[in-house]
Structure 1
Amino acid sequence: MNAQYTPLAQLKDARQQIIRLGETAPSSQAYKHSLIDRLRTQVSFDAACCTSVDPHTLLSTGAFTESGVGDIHYKLLEYEYLHNDVMKYDQLVREGQSIASLNGATEGEPGRSARYRDVLQPAGFGDELRIPLMYKGSCWGFLTLFRHHTKPVFSEEDQQLLEALAPSIAYHLRQASVGLSPDPGIIMENDMEPGVLVLSGKLEPISSNPTADQWLNLLRQQEGIDESSLPAPVRAVCFRALSTALPGAFTTSASPAKLCIPSADAGTPWVTLRATLLQGGQGSNGEHQLAVWFEPAKASEMLPLMAEMYAWSERERQIVRLIVQGLSTRELASALHISAYTVQDHLKAIFLKTDVSSRRELVWKVYSRFN
């Protein structure tokens, strides 16, 4: 590095590159791909995974993996939800840790981690760096970087740079998270029947209806995986269901096996995924079975996530909920015990944040087009 090129200048340059990526990426998956390529010019790593998540449940809504991580990604998800281990993402978010390395968490003894012994080491990886992507108190994704066991562990300088970049990455991942861009041949109708997928306890497909197959095709397309692979969101809700229901399974979260995946495409509704263990649903070997439902999201499921995306204040969230119910300005003022002028001020702020110019546009954007 040039002696005149200070760490502060490096940070500024890296942040500007991330901002440009966020302004030009056509979708969440494209942003993740470009982000990893760009980060590699700033920090050395041998493999990476970037995952977007539902900020309310921290379940994956889609992942981009590269350089061999795809082969072990399902195992990483399994260990995230079903095993006790160091520096799990829900723990990092809950404890407010902005970055953590496997070498640091194990005090230089990675063998103390079951994930390292059973997944990372057999795949040839050594140190692992985990960064929850937080913006304004909400988590929008996880960035995980890996180094081969023959390489040095992540340095303090590496961690400081990535920790400083994380809020900018989180902001643009949040913006890109409304970017499910389906192939023109895959258009989902709002009034179609729910999709139902039945899986074994090892997440092997047993049966499905045509609607579930359509949703699976859309999610696979988004992640760039083949038809033999389960999309990360499906695995995530299933592992969460197993973690909360199977005897002896480890869980640190009481959040449900449910997530909401947003879409920016007018032909594709937001989808809600739910998973549950089937009562008495056991195969010939005594293995449990799971059912996964795919349904267009309801307004009550979408509004909390949209509130996070558009950074509505608590008062603005209340106003949007009441607007969706059809209340007039006078009725809003009465219901919230504020003046009509204050309601108008809040509406201006909501319109600005949501990029609309009228109530009709707002209702269409957050409700009508999806129901």
Structure 2
Amino acid sequence: MGIDQVIAARDRVLAADAAERPLTELLGDVLEALHGVAAFSVAALLLTDTDSMLPFGGIVEGLDPSQCTPFWDNELLDPDFAKFTSLARSAEPVATLSQLTDGDLARSPRYRKLYEPAGGGDEIRVAFTTGASCWAVAALVRSAELGPFPAAESHAVLELVPVAARAIRSAVMRRDRATADQAPTMLVIDSDASLVSATPGAAEVLAEFAIHGVDVDVPTVALAAARRAENLKNATGISMRARGSSGRWFRLHAAPLGEYQVGVVVEPAGPGDLVSIVLESHGLTQRESEVVPLLARGLSTKEIATEMCISRHTVNDHLKTIFSKCGVTSRGELVARLFADHILEHHHAATVHR
């Protein structure tokens, strides 16, 4: 691996960043840059929610879609080497499976279950971090016949990570700003399920939830949110998520406006919204909801206590309540269920397979 290839790869990412390429296209440029410095045939370059480290789309290359669920089962449930959560908190954000297993890849459940049956060999894992935030992760797998990744290639990937991480962060922030610029839609719904008023542009949002053959003023999902807020008699209202006909996810927040009317605010849902909405649906309090993303990031009880400025005893009390409300018995089971039941579908829809 020569310095020329590393420079060319860095220049490609820098040019994509300078051109403010859309997020998916920029991820493609980062993946091609990685191809320029390392030899691999299977790759997953995945965006992560900076709060929970759960994935929300990206690019998958050369991986059978049927392996996606086993891949995440391993990541969230199996003891294994170089978990993304550990890598994101490590001083060295790049690791090869051959190094971590001292050359014995069979020590890794991930290798035995996923890579070896498909003829795969060594794996490089990457966490694209800036400061304490992880914006994306990657797993790059080469065929078994090529042997371990040479040290020069893993070092070249390491050289590329800071530039790529900053470019991905910029693209994510551009996407989020564009979403934030879209004004939310406000609906006022009367007790007889009629639409009293709505902000301009509401027709487009209402069309997202329309059911073919059913002619109503208020779509079922908005009416359901309004009825739940009305029945709960909760001044702060309730939040829920819904997927529109275009495939986009929306957050709906409903709150009583008076004795007979409910206001429903509809806005595009971001990755972090999906996590918080799911937690709210399980009846978790705000404080309990703050604990779950820290668990997902792999923090210990002591680290969570420090992060939240509470005692370890209080953290343990929160964990017992969270496990009870979510019907799980362990941290891994909690995160796996949160991802598989509520986020995996969104992740699949937002992932480009090539």
TM-score of the superposed pair, with normalisation by structure 2: 0.54
CA distance in 2: counterparts of 1:143 and 1:195, whole angstroms: 39
Q: Within the alignment, does 1:100 sit opposite 2:100 as a pair?
A: no
Greater RCO, 1 or 2 (C-alpha within 8 Å, sep 6+):
2
Taking the aligned partners of 1:195 and 1:155, their CA distance within structure 2 comes to 57
Q: 2:51 aligns with which of 33, 56, 59?
A: 56
Residue 336 of structure 1 corresponds to none
Distance verdict in 2 for CA 1:194–1:146, change over 3 Å: farther
Q: 1:250 to 1:179 in 2, by over 3 A?
A: closer
Aligned partners of 2:244, 2:323: CA distance in 1, in Å? 22
Distance 1:17 1:173 in 2: 13
**1:72 corresponds to which residue?**
67
User: Contact 1:195/1:213 (CA < 8 Å) preserved in 2?
Assistant: no
**Are 1:151 and 2:151 matched, yes or no?**
no
Alpha-carbon distance, 1:113 to partner: 0.7
Higher alpha-carbon deviation: 187-196 or 15-24: 187-196
8 Å CA contact 2:46–2:138 kept in 1: the answer is: yes
Q: Is 1:253 the equivalent of 2:299?
A: yes
The Cα of 1:67 is off from its aligned counterpart by: 1.2
Structure 2 residue identity aligned to 1:49 = A
2:35 maps to 1:40:
yes
Shift, 1:64, TM fit:
1.3
Task: Quickly say closer, same or farther: Cα 1:144–1:56, change in 2 above 3 A.
Answer: same
The alpha-carbon deviation at position 149 of structure 1 amounts to 1.9
Contact in 2 for aligned 1:194/1:211 (Cα 8 Å): no
In the aligned structure 1, how far is the partner of 2:147 from the partner of 2:39?
A: 10
Counterpart for residue 218 of structure 1: 248
Residues 28 and 178 in structure 1, CA contact (< 8 A), matched pair in contact too = no
Instruction: Give the structure 2 partner of residue 23 of structure 1.
Output: 18
| More moved, 52-61 vs 99-108 | 52-61
What is the SS of the residue equivalent to 1:217? coil
Contact 2:6–2:36 under 8 Å retained in 1: no
Residue 175 of structure 1 aligns to which amino acid in structure 2? Answer: S
For 1:1-371, list aligned pairs within 5 A.
7-24=2-19, 26-68=21-63, 70-180=65-175, 189-191=184-186, 212-214=242-244, 217-218=247-248, 252-253=298-299, 279=325, 292=342
Deviation (angstroms), 1:51? 1.3
Q: CA deviation at 1:235?
A: 10
8 Å contact kept, 2:13–2:29: no
Paired residues, number: 235
Distance in 1, Cα, partners of 2:327 & 2:53:
27
The 3 A distance-change label for structure 1 pair 106 and 54 is same
Letter in 1 for 2:49: D
CA distance in structure 1 between the partners assigned to 2:172 and 2:326 by the alignment: 37
Deviation at 1:22, TM superposition (A): 2.0
Q: What is the deviation of 1:165?
A: 0.7
**Partners of 1:93 and 1:251 in 2: CA distance:** 9
CA distance in 1, matches of 2:246, 2:272: 10
Per-residue CA deviations over 1:220-252 (Å, capped at 9, x if unaligned) read xxxxxxxxxxxx9999998xx9xx99xxx9994
Q: Decide which structure has greater helix share.
A: 2
Identity over aligned pairs, percent: 21
Are the equivalent residues in 1 in contact too, given 2:101–2:108 (CA < 8 A)? yes
Cα distance change of structure 1 residues 138 and 279 upon mapping to structure 2, 3 Å threshold: closer
Do the aligned residues in 1 keep the contact of 2:27 with 2:45 (CA within 8 Å)? yes
CA contact (8 A) 1:82 1:250 kept: no
Uncovered stretches (5+) of structure 1, i.e. residues with no partner: 1-5, 197-208, 220-231, 257-275, 294-371
Aligned-residue offset at 1:216: 8.8
Q: Please state whether the residue corresponding to 1:129 is helix, strand or coil.
A: strand
Structure-1 residue corresponding to 2:200: none
How far did 1:23 drift? Answer: 2.6
Shift of 1:74: 2.5
Q: Residues 74 and 236 (structure 1 numbering): CA distance in 2 closer, same or farther, change over 3 Å?
A: farther
**How far apart, CA to CA, are the structure 2 residues paired with 1:162 and 1:137?**
20
Conserved in 2, the CA contact under 8 Å of 1:74 and 1:235? no
CA RMSD of aligned residues (A): 4.6
